Amino acid sequence: MAKKKSSRKIIIQSPKGMRDILAGDRSWWDKITKVFSELKDIYNFDLIETPVLEYAKLFETAMNKETDLISKEMYTFKTKGGDFLVLRPEGTVTTARAYIENNLSHKGQPQRLCYFEPMFRHENTQAGRYREFHQMGFEILGGANDSIYDAEVIQVIYRLLQELKIKNIVLKINSIGCRNCRPNYERRLKAYYSKYERELCADCKKRLETNPLRLLDCKNESCQPFKKNAPNILDKLCSSCSSHFKSVLEYLEELGIEYTLDSQLVRGLDYYDRTVFEIFSGGEGAIALAGGGRYDYLAEKIGGKPTPAVGGAIGVERIVDAMKAQEIILEPKEIKKVFFIHIGEVAKKKSLKIIEELRKKKIAVAEDLGRESLKSQLKLANKKGIHLVLILGQKEVYEESIIIRNLKTSIQESIPLSKLTDSVKKYF
Ligand code: HAM
């Protein structure tokens, strides 16, 4: 007989595609956060935070309803007040919304904004593809439609991956043209694919009608032969898009950033024009670590003024996975912490006050005052990798002193309690 699923088991499971980030992974996340935080200042980006919920209409206006993000992947729900909200699926549309709503264009142009936030997409989960994941994004909005900003966005993302010591970074780049030249290319692409309509996969049959550019993005084995001879978009760009793209590439060359031209790179989100790019680590079949491009029409589409813009985002979980797979060694963090040990009831009574004095002076103190034996408290200090311990016994309480012991060298000294803070600081 089939076993009945226990309801308790369901309650204690995180939702599919969503994970806890536990202390064991903290060192990776801390390193990434630190590098992001340093680079945003060095590259002059301002951090913004947007609500985790947005109106569904915002994304539905920003993108075609046929894109996977809109048709399949949004977590949409109706509130008690009757509004349709979504869990934020990505950061570009929200940043553009915040830029317009808060009149950021008046605060100087262009605005250089960045974010480090969780995103939610109801995707088919697999390695590197989660339903809750985090993105570090860099967006440049407003000002001139200058190709140097495209290069700057790629530069900061590239540098971030380099700082994290990610190996074999491959930047793929393309231009998908503008409002003027792209329709022309799409017509040619449609005409080419129409010849094979009957042989195309079901998705591509749909794309042929709704979003021909995405035909180039089909991963289905049966559609691959048609991609080979499809018209090349780079041959069909208007002169303005062509010179924009050429100068992006020149800036990259000047920066020493290697790139691979990929005329079939089209991106899944459809607010892009001109430059699009993706960054991988490793060869064929590798999953994208970052992606982005220019989105000059997005602000206008969601109700703002025409605003040239370009940006890109890095997937944090994918970076963590890549760093682990590539066995990237993080420098061990220096633990500036003391472990407080008490022996006996008299000492226990005094402990909290002494610990509080240390904490007030910004000294991190670990302890487990619920444990009584010296041995088990020492064991815990060792387990936590803390080498500096403070030991308070009955004798010390009466003498108003305390023992500082270095577990690595086994050297210890007794010092007056009144000098405790200064003595601990000397060890750091
Ligand atoms: P995206 O390519 O959808 O672009 O996502 C950017 C990065 O987020 C991906 O390269 C990947 O590393 C990570 N990512 C995306 N989906 C998942 C997932 N389900 N699980 C884990 N990681 C994922 C955007 O979102 C654009 N807003 C990027 C952009 C910024 N364009 C202009 N500015």
Residue 2 in this model has a pLDDT that exceeds 70: no
pTM, to two decimals: 0.91
| CB atoms closer than 10 angstroms to residue 302 | 18
What is the mean pLDDT of the segment spanning 160-174? 97
At residue 285, the pLDDT reads: 81
CA angle 231, 235, 238 (to 5 degrees): 125
Residue 9 in this model has a pLDDT that exceeds 70: no
Pocket test for ligand 1, best of 19, 21, 90 (most atoms within 8 A of CB): 90
At residue 10, the pLDDT reads: 67
Give CA torsion, residues 203, 208, 211, 212, to 10 deg.
120
- How many whole angstroms from 232 Cα to the centroid of ligand 1? 25
Residue 290 in this model has a pLDDT that exceeds 60: yes
In single-letter form, the type of residue at position 156 comes to: V
At residue 329, the pLDDT reads: 86
Residue 282 in this model has a pLDDT that exceeds 90: no
> Pick from 345, 197, 172, 143: which is nearest to 262 by CA?
172
110 preceded by a cis bond (ω within 30 of 0): yes
At residue 1, the pLDDT reads: 46
Name the average pLDDT for the chain: 94
% of residues, the chain, pLDDT over 90: 88
Nearest-atom number in ligand 1 for the CA of 121 is 19
What is the mean pLDDT of the segment spanning 25-48? 96
Pocket test for ligand 1, best of 111, 157, 318, 323 (most atoms within 8 A of CB): 318
Residue 50 in this model has a pLDDT that exceeds 90: yes
Pocket of ligand 1 (CB under 6 A): 90-92, 121, 123, 128-130, 133, 135, 137, 139, 269, 288-293, 311-313, 315, 317-318
Residue 167 in this model has a pLDDT that exceeds 90: yes
At residue 180, the pLDDT reads: 95
Phi, psi of 9 (to 5 degrees): -60, -40
CA angle 391, 393, 398 (to 5 degrees): 120
Q: Of 376 and 228, which is predicted with more confidence?
A: 376
What tokens appear for 30 in the block?
């801390």
